[in-house]
Structure 1
Amino acid sequence: MDPRTADLTTVALWEGGDVVRLTEVPLPDLKPREVLVRVRLTTVCGSDRHTVSGRRSAPAPSVLGHEAVGDVVRLGPDAPLADDGVPLAVGDRVVWGVTVACGACDRCLTGRSAKCRAVRKVGHEAFASEWPLSGTYARHVVLPDGATLARVPDGLPDAVAAPAGCATATVMAAVEAAGPLEGRRVLVSGAGMLGITAVAAARDAGAAEIVVTDPDPGRRGLALRFGATSARATDEPVGLVDVAIELSGASTAVARALDVLDVGGRLVLAGSVAPGPEVPLDPERVVRGWLTVTGVHNYEPHHLRAALDLLSRTRDVAPWHELVTPAVDLASVGALLTGPPAAAPRTAVAP
């Protein structure tokens, strides 16, 4: 079936709980500036597993999935521009941002489109809404007006490009919030997909020392292959650092990251996206130590391009292929979302 002329597409529809079923649905007529993309490969983010397990709320039924790479197969009237300012064309291989912003509210106008007052998100919208094909666990996804799309550089494999729209771009936002890293001592707390990516980004930015903490020895070994100068268990001493990037979301790890900041240090929190125990904060130490604590949730459009640039620059020096499993078919999505976690940080699906 030619995806450019097909009337139907197949989706893995999450119906709540652990129920995921394949179903065929009509492809919609595109509105102005909408883009229909044929999904080449999508990766399973941990947040989707949290949704299915009940740790994270989301509307059901819906098509989940938000990390992917695909080909533009149809354009609505008034074709939108890619992030480089050039109009999109059928056949472009693209990745896209998680958030779709209105572009007109006070937050959008002041550079916080990730927290747009009317934000919509890829893979987070109800199937009964005006945007049913919002997720990437499907053969096609519709990207509405306001979405950020970026062409994928030639030679960048699909499995490397797919996480750019979530994990890699989020890390680029966190690294930007951390400030210049050249010559700095950096702690990366948590060596999952985001943590490993942060190691690569810190090395690319010229950090003098990159210490990674994680309880899993396999993840610590992976961090070393991506450029960490040392990798330690969470109960091992770290020493003082200039920058801490906390990606695990564990309250104990947040507290520890605060404790190891040197004078003028900066802590960036990006992993704390679910309720957890409160973390004590000594305001006197913050004041006397000139410390900065900041948070990052989602990212801005320019971080998507920064993610692709990082992947392109480092594709020959970082073993990105080790982060993603060989792709399975769309029928396996339910098992991936409900079964035990894979050994690699990301599992891949080729719809």
Structure 2
Amino acid sequence: MINAQNTYPISGARTVFNGLNSETMFVAQTAPLPELALGEILVKVRLASICMSDVHTITGQRIEPTPSVLGHEAVVEVVSHRRPESDLAVGDRLTFSIADSCGQCEFCLAGFNQKCVQLFKYGHAKLSDGSGYNGCYATHIIIRRGTHVVKVPQTISDRCAAPINCALATTMCAMEYVPKIKNGRAFVQGDGMLGLYTCAALHEYGYEIVYCSGTRLQRSPFIDRFGAIPLYNDEILTEETNKIDVVVEVGYF
């Protein structure tokens, strides 16, 4: 098993967000990579994607602690680790849970890990909180002990894998509450990433017709490729109002 004593890069690079009203909003830094603690994994970022929550942060619509390294959607590669009981190996591609939790508090024991009393979220933490490599807009991340990781099959490209741990995970969590209706009809409100994923998921659930509406007409080709019918006027929906089995609202994402 790989441990903290194995050779790995002594430094990495990161993009630090100092806040919307700071003199320099973003700064590129080179900083040492700390020694790994038990249970931690050093990974290099293969590809990061930009979540709308990050856009909201840099435009002032969402307030996050600063300075920080933003970014939580990424596919990463194992460089070194201190999880002796795991089957992780150098070079493994991983996706990981955005939330790191203790696994012992009342919320974790009840299955609500994202409400953990010691909750830590990648890309949403101050630079001084932990390793300093807490976000995906960097060359490396230190994955904490309470973070769940999953190996990414070679059949899935980096581009497809990067948003898995946020956009796709959010979609599939919501889909647990959507009934599987063969030949059913569904309406998705929102043509962002979550909307596209929802269209695909509903199609896989067996829905015969899926409509998707939004505000970005340029998304029409993507909606079609994800198994739905683009809807940018009310005509079809008016006719279909009493025929829709499920409505999923994912606007603004």
What TM-score does the superposition give when structure 2 sets the normalisation length? Answer: 0.89
Residue 236 to residue 26, structure 1, CA distance change in 2 (3 Å): farther
Q: In structure 2, the residue corresponding to 1:224 is in which secondary structure? A: helix
Matched, 1:73 2:79: yes
CA distance in 2, matches of 1:199, 1:170: 13
Q: Distance in 1 between matches of 2:74 and 2:161?
A: 8
Question: For residue 225 of structure 2, what is the aligned residue in structure 1?
Answer: 225
SS in structure 2 opposite 1:23? strand
The match for 1:63 is 69
The 8 Å contact of residues 80 and 145 in structure 1, kept in 2 or not, is answered as no
Q: Secondary structure at the match of 2:43?
A: strand
Contact 2:34 2:131 in 1 (8 A): no
Q: Hey, what does 1:178 align to over in structure 2?
A: 178
Give deviations 1:213-241, integer Å, cap 9, x for gaps.
1122221332112111x221264452232
Contact 2:134 2:142 in 1 (8 A): yes
Question: In the alignment, which residue of structure 2 is the partner of 1:29?
Answer: 35
Contact 1:196 1:226 in 2 (8 A): yes
Task: Tell me, in whole angstroms, the C-alpha distance in 2 between the residues paired with 1:139 and 1:28.
Answer: 14
Specify whether residues 23 and 234 from structure 1 end up closer, same or farther in structure 2 by C-alpha distance, changes over 3 A only. farther
Change (3 A) 1:9 1:242: same
Unmatched runs of 5 consecutive residues or more in structure 2: 1-5
Aligned length, in residue pairs: 241
**Distance verdict in 2 for CA 1:177–1:79, change over 3 Å:** farther
SS of the counterpart of 1:123? coil
Equivalent positions of 1:45-194 (< 5 A) are 45-76=51-82, 78-79=83-84, 81=86, 87-194=87-194
Residue deviations 1:141-188, cap 9 Å, x none? 011011011101112110111110111111111111223243332111
Equivalences for 1:186-335 in 2 at 5 Å?
186-228=186-228, 230-233=229-232, 235-236=234-235, 238=237, 239-240=241-242, 241-249=244-252
Q: What CA distance in whole angstroms lies between the structure 2 residues aligned with 1:113 and 1:234?
A: 40
1:36-67 residue CA offsets vs partner (Å, 9 max, x unmatched): 00111111111101111111011100000011
Matched-pair contact (CA < 8 Å) for 1:10–1:24? yes
1:117 shift after superposition: 2.8
Q: Which moved more, 1:23-32 or 1:203-212?
A: 203-212
Cα offsets for 1:13-46 (capped at 9, x unmatched): 1111171111001101111100000111111111
Measured in 2, the distance between the counterparts of 1:79 and 1:53 equals 42
Give the conservation status (yes or no) of the 8 Å contact 1:63–1:133: yes
Note if contact 1:34-1:79 (Cα within 8 Å) is conserved in structure 2: no
8 Å contact kept, 1:213–1:220 = no
RMSD: 1.8
Measured against aligned partners, the alpha-carbon deviations of 1:262-296 in whole angstroms (never above 9, x if no partner) come to: xxxxxxxxx6xxxxxxxxxxxxxxxxxxxxxxxxx
Larger deviation, residues 203-212 vs 110-119? 110-119
| Higher helix proportion | 1
Contact 1:101 1:113 in 2 (8 A): yes
Match of 2:13 in 1: 10
Question: After superposition, what is the alpha-carbon deviation per residue over 1:77-118, rounded to whole angstroms, capped at 9, x for unaligned?
Answer: x4364xxxxx22222111111111111122221222122232
Paired residue for 2:25? 19
- Residue type of the partner of 1:232? L
Cα distance in 2 for residues equivalent to 1:151 and 1:182: 32
Q: Secondary structure at the match of 1:12?
A: strand
Question: TM-score scaled by structure 1?
Answer: 0.65
Supply the distance in 1 between the matched residues of 2:106 and 2:233 (Cα, whole angstroms). Answer: 41
For residues 32 and 189 of structure 2, the distance between their equivalents in structure 1, rounded to whole angstroms, comes to 44
Cα-to-partner distance string for 1:241-260 (whole Å, 9 max, x where unaligned) = 221111114xxxxxxxxxxx
Q: Which runs of 4+ in 1 moved over 2 A?
A: 78-81, 114-118, 179-184, 234-237
Contact 1:45-1:65 at 8 Å conserved across structures: yes
